[in-house]
Amino acid sequence: MSPIEQLISNFQELVAHVPEIVQPFIIMLAGAIPFIDGEGAALIGIAGGVHPIVAGVAAATGNFLCVLLVVALTSRARTAIVDRRPSPVGVSGGSGARPSVDGAAFQETATANPESKGRQRFNRWLVRFGVPGASILGPLAIPTQITSAILVGGGTPRRWVLLWQAIAIVIWTSIGTVAAWAALTIVVGVS
């Protein structure tokens, strides 16, 4: 038995101690973690001995539920910020107790932090392919949770973001599930 087969066998024995009804929920939690997303969670589930379809569905569900939460929170934050933005004539909006923010000072603060390579790549995809392309290609650069926060924070409607993030999650989790199953079954020889 190769070291990889032994490692997977030991992991499957560990997972076998967890009740079967709880295993998909653990995969869902893994899918909610940025950078693991649905693809990584499906791999974890399949390596643990969970049926590939159950692992894929649980991973995608966990990933989408986290994206849904991020979209809801980002949308509320954006609404709160936009509602407090000073009006064009200089009258402060919102509660009136807050001082207005100088636009030049805000722009200076916003550009003080350089963008990461993943964020730059994502922005290029967003300009070139729009929300559908950025949602589907986004996981190649950054996690789906961050992609959805960027899109909603930029003003894209929540439903549009959720629709395309759901499509992207299904696509990438399906690819990850099939790849993990094939790698473990065909290449490694573990079932």
Would you give per-residue pLDDT tens digits along the chain (191 residues)? 778 788 888 888 888 899 999 999 999 999 999 999 999 999 999 999 999 999 999 999 999 999 999 999 999 999 998 888 765 555 444 444 444 444 444 444 455 567 788 778 877 877 888 889 889 988 888 899 999 999 999 888 999 999 999 999 999 999 999 999 999 888 877 76
98 assigned to some structural domain = no
Residue 141 has phi, psi (to 5 degrees) of -110, -45
**Cα 26 from Cα 62, distance rounded (Å):** 9
**Residue 90: CB atoms within 10 Å:** 7
Residue 42 structural domain: 3-85+114-188
Number of structural domains the chain divides into? 1
Q: How far apart are CA 191 and CA 57, in angstroms?
A: 19
Answer whether residue 139 is part of any domain.
yes
Question: Is 92 within the bounds of a domain?
Answer: no
**E-only strand ranges, 54-141:** none
Q: Does 155 map to a domain? A: yes
Q: Is residue 48 part of a domain?
A: yes
Q: Give domain status of residue 17, yes or no.
A: yes
Tokens of 7: 């490692």
User: Is 33 inside any structural domain?
Assistant: yes
Q: In the numeric block, which tokens belong to residue 25?
A: 């929920």
C-alpha to C-alpha distance for 122 and 172, rounded to whole angstroms: 16
C-alpha to C-alpha distance for 186 and 40, rounded to whole angstroms:
19
Residue 142: count other Cβ atoms within 10 Å of its Cβ. 19
| C-beta atoms surrounding 124 within 10 Å | 13
In a domain, 124, yes or no: yes
